[in-house]
Structures are given as C-alpha cells and as structure tokens.
C-alpha cells in the first residue's frame, strides 16, 4: 500500500483529499499543515512513496521549499498542489524539479490517475491547464474592507463573526463576500480563501 504525505494549510482541502485517497483502499495518508511539519514527518518516517506540497502554505516557497523536500525525501517524487496557481507558477515548479503539478480543481478520477502516474515514476503535467492563459494572473484590487472580510474567511470565521469583529452588520459582510468573490472569480468562500492565499492578497 502506497504511503502519501499531503502538506496543505487549508484544513478542509487537505482532509478532503486525504479521505478520498484513503477511501480508495490503496493508500495510507499522513497530513501536515505547514512545511516545517512536513519536513519533520519526512525526517521521522523517511518512507513516503509520494509527497504533495501546497505551494502557499506556511514555510513554503518556490523553489526553496521544493528543493528542501526533495533533498530529504530519499527519492520520493514531490509534486505541487494548488487551487488557484497560475500556469506560470506551475511551469516554474516543474522546471524546479517537481514531479508534477496537481490543480485542486481536478475531478476525483483525474486526481487518482495523476497520483498513480506519479507513483509509477511519471511526471504529471496538466497540459490543458498549462496552456490556458490565467484569468487571475494580474493582481486583483480589493478594498481595505474587502481584505478584512477575506482575512476573516481565511481564518474560518462565519459572516456573523466577521461582522462582530469589524463592527458592521452581517448583511454588509455578505455583500462584501459577494463582491470579492466576483472580483476573484471564486466559486465559493473556500475557493476565495485559496485564491487570496495563492495571490498573497492577505
């Protein structure tokens, strides 16, 4: 049974990916929420068959974080995962030695195929994604209040909690969420949080 490490600071995304892989019955999965935590697990276990790194989690930079992980991974393929990274970031990761780039938006069947391909020693390059001009390549402009709301979303707070923190009405927060989601082209709150992190908006 293949052993996989998923390192991602977005709890919902990480746990969803881990649960999906475990449900396949073919993988055992360990989790980390930051690069230092991932490094510690690798150094302690040193027996992973595949390592997946979110490129915007705490402690992670490209290419340094990738290079460090590859150096201690004892030959295990190291791939980058992201929900909103641009094609240029993906290409940079692959050029730096990543075994693959896995968009978090891929469907479960494609994800499973990608993981199997990586475990077999292949390089996973989502060519359609890499060839697509990024709609979010340019930095999005959010107002200070929208940034406050986005920060609250990234902290996992509900609209009511954000409204209390900012001393505004909950309906005002809802309007800000709707506006910033449109600006970020986000499908939902979770997607907006991923975009905000990946574009270093907060």
Q: Per residue in 47-102, pLDDT tens?
A: 899 999 998 888 998 889 999 999 999 899 999 998 767 788 888 889 889 999 99
pLDDT higher than threshold 70 for residue 135: no
Q: Are residues 19 and 115 in the same domain?
A: yes
Q: Are residues 86 and 178 in the same domain?
A: no
Please state, as a whole number, how many other Cβ atoms lie within 10 Å of the Cβ of residue 180.
24
Q: Given this model, what pLDDT does residue 201 score?
A: 78
pLDDT higher than threshold 70 for residue 27: yes
Q: Are residues 91 and 33 in the same domain?
A: yes
Q: Given this model, what pLDDT does residue 137 score?
A: 47
Q: Pick from 130, 154, 183: which residue ends a domain?
A: 130
Q: Are residues 34 and 106 in the same domain?
A: yes
Q: Let me know if residue 35 belongs to a domain.
A: yes
Compute the average pLDDT of residues 165-173: 93
Contact partners, residue 30, CB within 8 Å, separation at least 6: 3, 4, 5, 6, 41, 45, 48
Please identify which residue in the block is written with the tokens 């780039």: 101
pLDDT band at 173 (very low <50, low <70, confident <90, very high): very high
CB crowding 103-112: b at 16 or more within 10 Å, else e:
bbeeeeeebb
Q: Let me know if residue 137 belongs to a domain.
A: no
**Rounded distance, CA 37 to CA 152, Å?**
24
pLDDT higher than threshold 70 for residue 8: yes
pLDDT higher than threshold 60 for residue 189: yes
Q: With contact defined as beta carbons under 8 Å apart, do 84 and 185 qualify?
A: no
pLDDT band at 46 (very low <50, low <70, confident <90, very high): low
Where residue 47 sits, what CATH number does that domain have? Answer: 3.40.50.2300
The share of the chain scoring above pLDDT 70, in percent, equals: 95
> Whole domain around residue 19: which residue ranges?
2-130
pTM passes above 0.75: no
Q: Are residues 35 and 115 in the same domain?
A: yes
pLDDT band at 157 (very low <50, low <70, confident <90, very high): very high
Q: Are residues 57 and 157 in the same domain?
A: no
pLDDT higher than threshold 80 for residue 3: yes
Q: Given this model, what pLDDT does residue 103 score?
A: 86
Q: Let me know if residue 139 belongs to a domain.
A: no
Q: Are residues 60 and 95 in the same domain?
A: yes
Q: Are residues 82 and 152 in the same domain?
A: no
Greatest Cα pair distance, the chain, in angstroms, is 54
Q: Let me know if residue 138 belongs to a domain.
A: no
Q: With contact defined as beta carbons under 8 Å apart, do 11 and 34 qualify?
A: no
pLDDT higher than threshold 80 for residue 140: no
């Amino acid at each position: 049974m293949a052993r996989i490490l998923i390192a991602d600071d977005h709890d919902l995304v990480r746990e969803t990916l881990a649960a999906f892989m475990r449900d396949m019955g073919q993988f055992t999965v360990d989790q980390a929420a930051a690069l230092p935590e991932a490094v510690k697990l690798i150094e302690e276990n040193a027996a992973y068959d595949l390592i997946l790194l979110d490129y915007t989690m705490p402690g992670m930079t490209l290419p340094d974080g990738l290079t460090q992980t590859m150096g201690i991974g004892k030959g295990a393929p190291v791939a980058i995962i992201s929900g909103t990274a641009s094609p240029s970031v993906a290409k940079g990761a692959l050029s730096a030695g990543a075994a693959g780039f896995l968009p978090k938006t891929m469907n479960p069947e494609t994800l499973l195929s990608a993981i199997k391909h990586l475990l077999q020693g292949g390089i996973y390059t989502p060519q359609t994604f890499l060839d697509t001009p990024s709609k979010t390549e340019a930095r999005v402009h959010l107002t200070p209040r929208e940034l406050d709301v986005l920060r609250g979303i990234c902290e996992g707070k509900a609209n009511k909690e954000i409204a209390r923190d900012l001393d505004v009405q909950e309906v005002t927060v809802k309007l800000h969420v709707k506006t910033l989601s449109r600006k970020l082209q986000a499908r939902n709150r979770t997607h907006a949080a991923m975009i905000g992190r990946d574009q270093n908006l907060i």
